[in-house]
Amino acid sequence: MQTKPALEKIIPSFGSSLLVKQHTQKRKNKNAFWHFHPEIELVYVNQGKGKRHIGNHLSYFNNSQLILIGSNLPHNGFTDGLTTNGKETVIQFKPDFFGDSFLSKPEMIGISALFNKAKNGILFKIETKNKVGSKIEQLYDLTGFDRIIGLLEVLNILSTSEDYVLLNANGFAFETMQQDNNKIDVIYKYINNNFQKKITLGSISSAVSMTSPAFCRYFKKATGKTFIEIVNEFRIVHATKLLTETQSSVTDICFECGFNNFSHFNKQFKKITGKNALNYRNEIKIIIQSK
């Protein structure tokens, strides 16, 4: 069983203390595995779609997103694909890249608090995206001092925003140790490849060479959720994708996502999204048509 290293090594270009990457084409995401790094990560997608998997949060986005991920918060790669004019900009930097004492200055209280909140993962909403989206994209073309000033401006705006949600509001129990991250990576990949069919506890336990009771204890401690809760989240996230991107009936989508009972599908969909599947589809249509 081959595993990948959990700790991602991020190396800025020579003469720079932060890394800015930009993608404008659909690509195979080499970071689509369960990983972490000490660097804070800011991700802005202006037009695209994909799956958010940050800590124990899982959701699907279709259009745009702006997220801030704190140090050592486990996550997967995000964007499945970009539209014709789509662009993904990623900024990665260590919390102390300004200097050891910089964040303790009175003027930096807001940004310091922002970094602390980012430990739970922050999803910013449309008002904030509109304010800083173009500023984030411009960082790619800036260098040296101008890039630092530009990033500080973006962080200052984010630190004063109230237009956001915490993705892991109750904290995240997983300890980012390499061995555990490799194991979690195998588990999540197994779920991702098999959620559309029945997954037995015995099959997933065998995949990570554990007994079923030991697996259940480990998984609950690592993620804060039961295995079936995570599987249902994968299924419902896929359902939101199909409701958004296809004309398939809600019944067909239910069975395509791995549920064998329509009533159970409806119950899980409402539990995870807060609304029933048909209302979700209608609301998404309104949002897309208003763009």
User: For position 6, what pLDDT does the model report?
Assistant: 47
Please say whether the beta carbons of 120 and 128 come within 8 A. no
Pair 24, 144 in one domain: yes
Return d(Cα 32, Cα 47) in angstroms, integer: 19
Domain boundary among 148, 166, 184: 166
Distance separating alpha carbons of residues 3 and 150, to the nearest angstrom:
38
Q: Do 29 and 136 share a domain, yes or no?
A: yes
Shared-domain flag, residues 204 and 110: no
CATH number, position 112: 2.60.120
Pair 204, 152 in one domain: no
Q: Which domain holds residue 128?
A: 18-166
Looking at 166, 185, 211, the residue that finishes a domain is 166
- All residues at 6 or more sequence positions from 284 whose CB lies less than 8 Å from its CB, including other chains: 62, 243, 244
Whether residues 153 and 31 fall in one domain: yes
Question: In three state form, how does the secondary structure of the chain look?
Answer: CCCCCCECCCCCCCCCCEEEEEECCCCCCCCCCCEECCCEEEEEEEEEEEEEEECCEEEEEEEEEEEEECCCCCECCCEEEECCCCCEEEEEECCCCCCCCHHHCHHHHHHHHHHHHHHHCEEECHHHHHHHHHHHHHHHHCCHHHHHHHHHHHHHHHHHCCCEEECCCCCCCCCCCHHHHHHHHHHHHHHHHHCCCCCCHHHHHHHCCCCHHHHHHHHHHHHCCCHHHHHHHHHHHHHHHHHHHCCCCHHHHHHHCCCCCHHHHHHHHHHHHCCCHHHHHHHHHHHHHHC
Q: Is residue 190 included in any domain, yes or no?
A: no
Residue 173: count of CB within 10 angstroms of its CB? 14
Please check whether residues 221 and 158 belong to one and the same domain.
no
Same domain, 130 and 70: yes
Q: Residue 2 domain-assigned?
A: no
Residue 285's domain is classified under what CATH number? Answer: 1.10.10.60
Residues 148 and 104 in one domain: yes
Q: What is the pLDDT of residue 128?
A: 96
Is residue 179 situated within a structural domain? no
State the pLDDT at residue 126. 92
Mean pLDDT of each 10-residue bin along the chain, 291 residues long: 43 68 68 78 91 87 91 79 80 84 86 93 95 96 92 96 89 56 84 93 94 93 87 93 92 95 94 90 71 51
- Is residue 186 a part of any domain in this protein? no
Report yes or no on 177 lying in a domain: no
Report the number of distinct structural domains present in the chain.
2
pTM above 0.85, yes or no: no
